[in-house]
Amino acid sequence: MSVRERPADCLFCKVVAGDVPAEIVHATDSAVAFRDINPQAPMHVPVVPSSHYANAAELAHGEPSCAAELLTVAAAVAEKEGISDYRPVFNTGAEAGQVVFHTHLHVLGGRPMTRPPG
């Protein structure tokens, strides 16, 4: 896990630390996956890095192996849930729909996904 400082007001840092309750569905040394409290699909699981980066671009630059780990965890979550087809989504920036500014990969599945996705 990175030694990066965790902002005191970051919701996902608090989930990673165990300070905010969440239904954890998968965890590794560098990532945590948990059920979304406002699911947009039957399976909606955010996957977050244990270290704090504001968005996917920052994570890819700072810890590229962790960025790849989020995709590996997404696949493991889908497999555990019995879902073969799923949509991984990063929202990077407020205009793209990012609400919590801690990198997170949404894993959505369990129903047909519509196109276009935005």
Decide if pLDDT at 13 tops 60: yes
Q: Report phi then psi at 24, rounded to 5.
A: -75, 130
What tens digit of pLDDT does each residue of 51-110 get? Answer: 999 999 999 999 999 999 999 999 999 999 999 999 999 999 999 999 999 999 999 999
Domain 11-109 has CATH 3.30.428.10: yes
Is 104 a residue of the active site? yes
- Secondary structure of the chain: what % helix, strand, coil (to 5)? 30, 20, 50
What tens digit of pLDDT does each residue of 16-43 get? Answer: 999 999 999 999 999 999 999 999 999 9
Catalytic residue among 26, 102, 104, 106: 104
- The answer to whether 51 and 4 are in contact (CB under 8 A) is yes
How many whole angstroms separate alpha carbon 41 and alpha carbon 84?
14
Question: Which band of pLDDT confidence, cut at 50, 70 and 90, is reported for residue 118?
Answer: low
Quote the pTM value.
Answer: 0.92
Domain boundaries, the chain: 11-109
Among the listed residues 19, 20, 21, 2, the one whose alpha carbon sits nearest the alpha carbon of residue 103 = 2
pLDDT of residue 1: 41
Triad 21, 93, 67: Cα angle to 5°: 65
